[in-house]
């Protein structure tokens, strides 16, 4: 009940949140595969090729929400329609908390220890993005099915039955169908069946076949996803400087950034539009040491929940470690699974001894001082998470918060105007873009200024901006069309 109340207090407000104009457009409300699937290519409709990687399960749930809440067409989008999607997502957030509670009950201790484990995960500010953002549903789904996969594998480690291996395989497949980062579960399943099993215990014969099938599916997803991502320009083109050493350096930098965000959530920003420059210093050296220590724990305590959590942390970080040259590698959603692993390992190592081969072994309860410290940490995290969750209320709030940290970015300034325009605050959007143009120059904002001026009825100002655009880009057909409509006095100018 306490866990339910915590989730409701933190995320209940999301039921009134809107669409935001950051990836929600590409993924959901302007995605033909969601809004008009009959007109979309089958690969876009069922697998999400136009997004850049396969996510059929997440895509199906967005399509169901669209049938319930709209938009009816690509031209009938209203930001408030996102409220229905968020109500659906709130149910999945409760499901995530329950899945974590189940994992904690079997591997840490039932009752308060398991509730604290689940609460610490959902209350950390890094969980706000995947849980409170409609596009973040793909990461939320991976989190749900990853927790259920870990629960099943933990049970399967001492079971003579293939049932738990079948369940683990099914949940891992659902995680991969939600977002390709779920492929980390295939690697972890290999570790669990070869390294993590108790001494002298032989897993069910079906385990090897199921794990091999998982690895095959993961390989297909990686190949297909990489090909689609390259087609859309989502991966950087290899350059002579993009050597294995350079990738390793970026990996250390990205991982050190993630660790700092987990350890000091007060540093978290609303959204990372601008990547931090890659550096190598004390934090990267410390990150390498932490990585080596994690590898050691995953081997030394491989029969203990601490070893399992360490191994899972290593596999969970691989898809987002920047060893694959992603354009953006510091995002809150990338830290959800590693945070699950960290909470699982710390609380589990305190509560339980090395996993016994007997089925009757029960984890011990957490000591009272640990419960008090964990409860205090939960309260602190909840207070920090509340404003991070509020960031995703609508586009205005998102870009207002982002602009606080990215004051010198013309792109963020432009997006702040977009947020106002998307929410229907056209006069404020025009004023924002005029301020941006005065500060950064008009080149990036001219189209926005012209259209916004038309939308608020300032036709003379719009005409001047379209003339400014055509003076620099004489073949700009959109500017030509709008300017002809303005000169003829037609009412459809700006549409």
CA 188 to chain centre: 20
How far is it, in rounded angstroms, from Cα 301 to Cα 226?
A: 35
What pTM value is reported for the model?
0.90
In the three-class reduction of DSSP (H, G, I as helix; E, B as strand; rest coil), residue 323 is classed as: coil
Q: What is the average pLDDT across 213-220?
A: 94
- pLDDT recorded at residue 390: 94
Residue 354 Ramachandran class (φ > 0 left, ψ -120 to 50 alpha, else beta): beta
146-198, pLDDT tens digit by residue? 999 999 999 988 777 789 999 999 999 999 999 998 999 999 999 999 998 88
5-47, pLDDT tens digit by residue? 999 999 999 999 999 998 999 999 999 999 999 889 999 999 9
More confident residue, 70 or 177: 177
CA dist list (Å): 479 to 53, 247, 333, 448, 465 = 35, 43, 39, 11, 9
CA dist list (Å): 261 to 144, 171, 472 = 22, 28, 44
Q: Across all residues in the chain, what is the average pLDDT? A: 86
290-302, pLDDT tens digit by residue? 888 888 888 888 8
332-369, pLDDT tens digit by residue? 677 899 999 999 998 888 876 444 444 444 555 667 78
Instruction: State the DSSP H helix or E strand holding residue 316, giving kind and residue range, or none if neither.
Output: helix 305-317
Q: How many CA atoms lie within 13 A of 429 on its CB side?
A: 26
How far is it, in rounded angstroms, from Cα 461 to Cα 450?
A: 7
CA dist list (Å): 467 to 429, 471, 488, 494 = 21, 6, 15, 14
Tell me the β-bridge partners of 235: 326
With a cut of 80, say whether residue 452 has pLDDT above it. yes
């Amino acid at each position: 009940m306490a866990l339910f109340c915590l989730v409701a207090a933190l995320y209940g407000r999301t039921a009134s949140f809107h669409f935001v104009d950051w990836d929600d457009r590409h993924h959901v409300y302007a995605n033909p595969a969601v809004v008009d699937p009959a007109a979309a290519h089958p690969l876009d409709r069922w697998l999400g090729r136009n997004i850049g990687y396969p996510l059929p399960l997440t895509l199906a749930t967005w399509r169901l929400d669209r049938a319930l809440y709209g938009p009816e067409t690509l031209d009938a989008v209203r930001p408030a329609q996102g409220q229905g999607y968020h109500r659906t997502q709130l149910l999945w957030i409760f499901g995530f908390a329950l899945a974590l509670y189940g994992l904690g009950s079997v591997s840490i201790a039932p009752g308060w220890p398991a509730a604290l484990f689940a609460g610490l995960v959902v209350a950390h500010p890094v969980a706000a993005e995947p849980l409170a953002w409609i596009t973040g549903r793909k990461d939320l789904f991976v989190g749900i099915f990853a927790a259920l996969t870990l629960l099943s594998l933990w049970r399967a480690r001492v079971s003579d039955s293939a049932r738990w291996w079948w369940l683990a395989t099914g949940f891992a497949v659902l995680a991969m169908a939600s977002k390709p980062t779920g492929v980390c579960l295939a690697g972890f399943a290999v570790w669990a069946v070869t390294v993590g099993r108790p001494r002298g215990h032989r897993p069910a014969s079906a385990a090897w076949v199921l794990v091999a099938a998982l690895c095959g599916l993961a390989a297909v997803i990686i190949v297909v996803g990489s090909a689609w991502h390259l087609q859309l320009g989502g991966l950087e083109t290899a350059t002579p400087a993009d050597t294995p050493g350079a990738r390793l350096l970026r990996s250390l930098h990205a991982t050190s950034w993630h660790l700092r965000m987990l350890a000091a959530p007060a540093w978290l920003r609303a959204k990372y539009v601008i990547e931090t420059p890659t550096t190598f210093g004390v934090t990267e050296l410390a990150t390498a040491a932490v990585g080596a220590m994690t590898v050691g724990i995953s081997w030394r305590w491989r029969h203990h929940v601490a070893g399992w959590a360490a191994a899972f942390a290593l596999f969970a970080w691989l898809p987002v470690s920047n060893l694959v040259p992603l354009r953006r590698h510091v995002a809150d959603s990338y830290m959800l699974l590693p945070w699950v692993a960290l909470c699982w390992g710390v609380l589990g190592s305190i509560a339980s001894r090395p996993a016994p081969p007997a089925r009757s072994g029960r984890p011990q309860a957490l000591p009272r001082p640990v419960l008090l410290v964990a409860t205090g940490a939960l309260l602190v995290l909840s207070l920090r998470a509340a404003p991070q969750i509020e960031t995703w209320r609508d586009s205005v709030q998102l870009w207002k918060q982002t602009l606080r940290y990215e004051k010198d970015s013309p792109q963020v300034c432009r997006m702040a105007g977009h947020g106002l325009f998307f929410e229907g605050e056209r006069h404020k959007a025009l004023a924002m873009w005029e301020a941006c143009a005065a500060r950064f120059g008009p080149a990036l904002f001219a189209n926005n200024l012209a259209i916004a001026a038309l939308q608020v009825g300032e036709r003379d100002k719009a005409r001047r901006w379209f003339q400014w655009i055509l003076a620099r880009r004489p073949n700009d057909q959109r500017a030509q069309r709008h300017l002809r409509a303005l000169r003829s006095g037609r009412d459809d100018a700006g549409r």
